[in-house]
């Protein structure tokens, strides 16, 4: 991950060292050892140059993908545009806090709040960090962000800061949340904790953050992407809201960045990469804490792709919100095809149910060329282009759905809705049809 996102800085360091040695006339390169070292150094610099060119050119692939969506063309064309302050933040060796302030002036963490207390014998507070721009207008939309860390580590204090700051700079209130970690707890406690954050925002967002509690989009990376997808797919499952069943935990959209989508590895993506069942054993031992052979339904419900199966189609009574799914092509931890297959299943679900996403906003899949896992944790031209694409998606989503009620009231499953549409087309108004 490091060489691909900071190749420009590594290239500058290597060039500076070579120049220093040349100017000092140090005989370090004399003899055959020095000659080999110089040759290797040249190869390294050529490789770093190639990585940097790939990083910069990623914006073209991202633009092409966004052009297939309903995002306005002028917003798509601005993807990859970098201003002077952002270039300085990318190129100069500043600490990340300085780089973020330089690239996105006016954005800061404004509050840390306790959104829930969890635990049986000894309760533990769950915390939420709130980021916003100083000029964010009242009643701003919210992005709830769920951090990654393989469900067993990390916290809200270590999110992808470039992404968080980019979204906040566009006028969104970004709330980064903690959740309980395995193996102290088993799934689905992590998911329930994230839904507790939504319940908290429904009650307190307006008074505490001047944000709109009825407009929440969820996002996350890696394990957080897995949880974000499940939040978007399980709003109707009240068993995942113990003690707050009456709260509407639906979201307006989902930004899933290199998330995990299939605990069961039914297509063998992890097995093909690892040549063994390490991934499934890890999930079994630490995350689910139950064997797949003994709890197949629980494993299925813990997999986002499981909620899109054909046999689940007729069970849903809620609409799936628009998704933006992105994944780096060089990800060696979570297979790229995991996101691609999940996105394909989402499109098949929409085709089967004749149910477009809410507001007519199209789902988007972003293939990030040359990017590794956690690529968006470091500031680079590719990271900025990815964040701009997500921002364009979010702004388009907000403009098209901000006036739609929080949750479309329906007691019909997609199958029943389709049957009703076919049987009595004259009874359904154009507005109602667009909402199915």
Active site residues: 222, 331, 373
Rg (Cα) of the chain, in Å, rounded?
23
| Alpha carbon distances (Å) from 68 to 235, 283, 325, 392 | 28, 36, 14, 13
**CA pair distance 306, 308, nearest whole angstrom:** 5
Residue identified by tokens 């590794």 is 372
> Which of 280, 309, 333, 150 has its CA nearest to residue 225?
150
**CA pair distance 343, 347, nearest whole angstrom:** 6
H or E stretch at 118:
strand 107-118
User: What single string gives the DSSP state of each residue in 20-51?
Assistant: HHHHHT-GGG-HHHHHHHHHHHHHHHHHHHHH
CA-CA-CA-CA torsion sign (414, 417, 422, 428): negative
Helices (H), 68-215: 73-77, 84-91, 96-103, 161-169, 189-209
Strand order in the sheet with 211-221: 107-118, 124-133, 173-177, 140-146, 211-221, 254-257, 323-328, 364-368
Which residues are within 8 A (CB) of 44 and not within 5 positions of it... i.e. 6 or more apart?
14
């Amino acid at each position: 991950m490091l060489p691909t996102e900071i190749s420009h800085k590594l290239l500058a360091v290597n060039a500076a060292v070579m120049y220093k040695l040349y100017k000092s006339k140090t005989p370090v390169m004399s003899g055959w050892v020095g000659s080999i070292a110089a040759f290797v150094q040249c190869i390294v610099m050529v490789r770093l140059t190639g990585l940097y060119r790939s990083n910069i050119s990623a914006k073209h692939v991202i633009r092409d993908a966004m052009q297939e969506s309903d995002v306005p063309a002028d917003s798509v064309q601005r993807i990859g545009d970098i201003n002077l302050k952002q270039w300085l933040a990318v190129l100069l060796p500043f600490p990340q806090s300085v780089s973020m302030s330089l690239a996105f002036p006016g954005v800061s963490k404004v509050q840390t709040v306790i959104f829930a207390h969890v635990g049986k014998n000894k309760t533990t507070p769950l915390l939420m960090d709130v980021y916003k721009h100083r000029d964010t207008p009242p009643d701003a939309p919210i992005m709830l962000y769920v951090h990654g860390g393989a469900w067993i580590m990390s916290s809200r204090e270590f999110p992808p800061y470039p992404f968080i700051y980019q979204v906040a700079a566009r006028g969104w209130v970004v709330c980064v949340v903690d959740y309980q970690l395995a193996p102290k707890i088993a799934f689905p406690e992590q998911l329930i904790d994230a839904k507790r954050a939504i319940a908290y925002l429904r009650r307190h967002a307006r008074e505490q953050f001047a944000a709109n509690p009825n407009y929440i989009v969820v996002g996350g990376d890696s394990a957080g992407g897995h949880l974000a997808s499940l939040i978007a797919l399980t709003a109707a499952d009240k068993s995942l809201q113990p003690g707050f069943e009456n709260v509407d935990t639906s979201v307006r959209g989902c930004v899933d960045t290199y998330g995990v989508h299939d605990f069961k590895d039914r297509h063998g993506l992890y097995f093909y990469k690892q040549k063994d069942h390490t991934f499934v054993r890890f999930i079994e031992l630490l995350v689910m804490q139950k064997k797949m052979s003994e709890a197949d339904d629980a494993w299925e419900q813990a997999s986002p792709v499981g909620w899109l199966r054909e046999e689940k189609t007729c069970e849903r009574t809620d609409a799936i919100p628009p998704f933006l799914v992105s994944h780096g092509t060089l990800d060696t931890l979570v297979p790229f095809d995991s996101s691609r297959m999940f996105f394909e299943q989402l499109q098949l679900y929409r085709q089967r149910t004749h149910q477009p996403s809410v507001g007519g906003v199209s789902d988007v899949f972003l293939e990030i060329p040359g990017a590794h896992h956690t690529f968006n944790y470091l500031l680079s031209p590719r990271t900025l282009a990815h964040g701009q694409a997500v921002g364009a998606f979010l702004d388009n989503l907000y403009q098209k759905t901000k006036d739609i009620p929080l949750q479309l009231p329906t007691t019909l499953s997609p199958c029943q809705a389709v049957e009703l549409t076919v049987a009595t087309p004259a009874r359904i108004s154009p507005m109602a049809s667009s909402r199915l």
